[in-house]
């Protein structure tokens, strides 16, 4: 069993390390410490050419070298602490308007990681070189090459500071945040959907005689090694139906799966194939990636912020995602081995995806005609390229919900007429295609 799941565990560990904020700065610090030791060894070997020492490298005394290195070390660590403290304060204020997603983007941003790493690495490098400097009374050793490199690194830190200020100013811009989250939604859709149809799940009666598997753990299902679990089930000639999917909360003592026929150590196999955590992640949870984008729109529609333009920008990105997913197939949660179902699990369907995209925005914008009109325009654009009957039916359901909310909450006759016209255009598009939509607009 360990062999089956070993590759998935390594992949999950790599993904977790890739998302941490400290890994890149730590590697840069270690690299600069090693470089400092190498530079000191090169200085002691007297292999540095004399012309380079006289014309280009630092040629001061040991006292001056200590002063210079102390200045570099104290200034870099001081600037790093001050700048990042101010940045966190600014991000906290901005996150109140755009959601905690902004803070997560800050920690995952490679530019921020390299900036912090540059300051900390320069500080560590200066300390390592400083401890080797000796004055005339102590034996007279001044590492000219290593000290000159520290000066160069200090100038690099200045450039990184300028980059960081400009980078952060752009990162807290709401349009930038929306675009970043939208890119993640599109990436999740490409990763979690397929170009070819997936096998249909077996009927519920298939599991009528199944045995429940109880899980004592608690937390959000963050990662699932579905292929490893399917291989294990095929090896033991059983079929497993998971009752949760990535993003669902697992309650302690509640069945996490059913299987038929029962096999010993099935609970150990499921625990090995699943990773639980305190928060949801979007790597295998398509609806969560969408909800992160929706959260920006919902906050923008709150009475304290009242920014419908931001909400409309989010709706536009959701419409683009719907159009891109048209030729692709959503997962069914079924894995086969030798043409036999060995693993089934809940999966995202079109209805759930559209509900995650539009329910909360519609509910919070029920009194705002501008956002409702944009939502109908986006649904019409998606209907223009969609040809699947079931998906088109779900698009129509949301268009009807928007029109119904407008009838109950929009009191201005002209605004209500605009919304009804957009709804009529959607219905005509669904029935007759783009040319029918244009004819409907002319009639209105």
204 lies in a domain?
no
Are 22 and 165 contained in the same domain?
Answer: yes
Phi, psi of 176 (to 5 degrees): -65, -45
276 lies in a domain?
no
Full domain range(s) for residue 414:
284-329+346-443
Q: How many C-beta atoms lie closer than 10 Å to residue 31's C-beta? A: 14
Beta bridge partners of 274: 224
Among the ranges given (93-97, 177-181, 189-193, 350-354), the one the predictor scored with the smallest mean pLDDT: 93-97
Among the ranges given (8-22, 287-301, 409-423), the one the predictor scored with the smallest mean pLDDT: 8-22
**Alpha carbon distance, N-terminus to C-terminus of the chain:** 66
418 lies in a domain?
yes
Report DSSP state, residue 200: P
Query: H-helix or E-strand containing 255?
Result: strand 254-260
**Residue 358 pLDDT > 90:** yes
192 lies in a domain?
no
How far is the C-alpha of 129 from the C-alpha of 25, rounded, in Å? Answer: 19
Which of 115, 142, 172 is the endpoint of a domain? 172
184 lies in a domain?
no
pTM above 0.75, yes or no: yes
Q: What confidence tier does 169 reach under pLDDT thresholds 50, 70, 90? A: confident
What's the number of domains the chain is made of? 2
Which of 144, 172, 200 is the endpoint of a domain? 172
Are 298 and 438 contained in the same domain?
Answer: yes
User: Which two tokens mark 194?
Assistant: 């397929």
- Residue-wise pLDDT for 121-167, tens only, equals 999 999 999 988 887 777 678 888 888 899 999 999 999 999 998 88
Burial call 154-192: b when 16+ CB within 10 Å, e when fewer? beebeebbeebeeebeebbebeebbebbbebbbebbeeb
Q: How many C-beta atoms lie closer than 10 Å to residue 242's C-beta? A: 24
117 lies in a domain?
yes
> Taking Cα atoms as reference points, which of 277, 276, 361, 348 lies closest to residue 316?
361
User: Which two tokens mark 237?
Assistant: 């000639």
Which of 142, 172, 202 is the endpoint of a domain? 172
194 lies in a domain?
no
Burial call 116-152: b when 16+ CB within 10 Å, e when fewer? bbbbbbbbbbbbbbbebbeeeeeeeebbbbbbbbbee
- The DSSP-derived string for 58-73 is ----HHHHHHHHHHHH
417 lies in a domain?
yes
Report DSSP state, residue 387: -
Are 289 and 438 contained in the same domain?
Answer: yes
Rg (CA), the chain: 30
- Residue-wise pLDDT for 267-292, tens only, equals 899 998 998 888 877 667 788 888 88
Are 291 and 424 contained in the same domain?
Answer: yes
């Amino acid at each position: 069993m360990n062999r089956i799941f070993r590759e998935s565990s390594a992949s999950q560990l790599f993904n977790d390390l890739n998302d941490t904020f400290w890994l890149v700065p730590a590697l840069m610090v270690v690299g600069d410490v090693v470089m400092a030791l190498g530079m000191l060894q090169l200085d002691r070997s007297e292999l540095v050419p004399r012309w380079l020492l006289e014309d280009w490298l630092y040629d001061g005394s040991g006292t001056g070298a200590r002063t210079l290195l102390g200045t570099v070390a104290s200034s870099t660590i001081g600037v790093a602490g001050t700048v990042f403290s101010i940045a966190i304060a600014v991000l906290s204020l901005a996150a109140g308007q755009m959601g905690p997603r902004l803070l997560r983007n800050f920690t995952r941003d490679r530019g921020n990681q390299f900036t912090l790493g540059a300051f900390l690495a320069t500080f560590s490098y200066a300390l390592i070189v400083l401890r080797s400097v000796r004055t005339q009374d102590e034996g007279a050793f001044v590492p000219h090459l290593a000290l000159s490199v520290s000066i160069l690194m200090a100038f690099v830190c200045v450039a990184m500071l300028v980059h960081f200020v400009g980078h952060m100013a752009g990162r807290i811009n709401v349009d930038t945040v929306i675009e970043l989250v939208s890119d993640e939604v599109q990436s999740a859709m490409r990763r979690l959907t397929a170009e070819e149809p997936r096998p249909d799940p077996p009927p519920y009666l298939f599991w009528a005689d199944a045995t429940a598997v109880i899980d004592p753990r608690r937390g959000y299902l963050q990662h699932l090694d579905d292929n490893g679990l399917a291989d294990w089930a095929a090896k033991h000639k059983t079929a497993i139906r998971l009752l949760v999917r990535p993003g669902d909360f697992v309650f302690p003592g509640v069945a996490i799966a059913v299987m038929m026929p029962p096999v010993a150590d099935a609970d150990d196999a499921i625990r090995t194939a699943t990773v639980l955590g305190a928060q949801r992640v979007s790597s295998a949870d398509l609806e969560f990636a969408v909800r992160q984008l929706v959260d920006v729109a919902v906050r923008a529609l709150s009475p304290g912020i009242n920014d419908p333009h931001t909400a409309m920008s989010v709706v536009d990105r959701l419409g683009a995602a719907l159009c891109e997913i048209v030729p692709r197939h959503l997962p069914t949660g079924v894995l086969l081995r030798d043409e036999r179902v060995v693993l089934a699990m809940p999966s995202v369907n079109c209805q759930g995806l559209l509900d995650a995209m539009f329910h909360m925005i519609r509910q919070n914008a029920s009194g705002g005609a501008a956002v409702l009109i944009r939502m109908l325009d986006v649904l019409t654009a998606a209907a223009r390229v969609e040809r699947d009957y079931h998906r088109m039916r779900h698009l129509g359901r949301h268009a009807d919900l928007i029109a119904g909310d407008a009838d109950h909450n929009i009191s201005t006759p002209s605004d209500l007429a605009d919304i009804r016209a957009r709804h009529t255009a959607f219905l005509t598009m669904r029935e007759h295609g783009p040319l029918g939509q244009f004819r409907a607009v002319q009639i209105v």
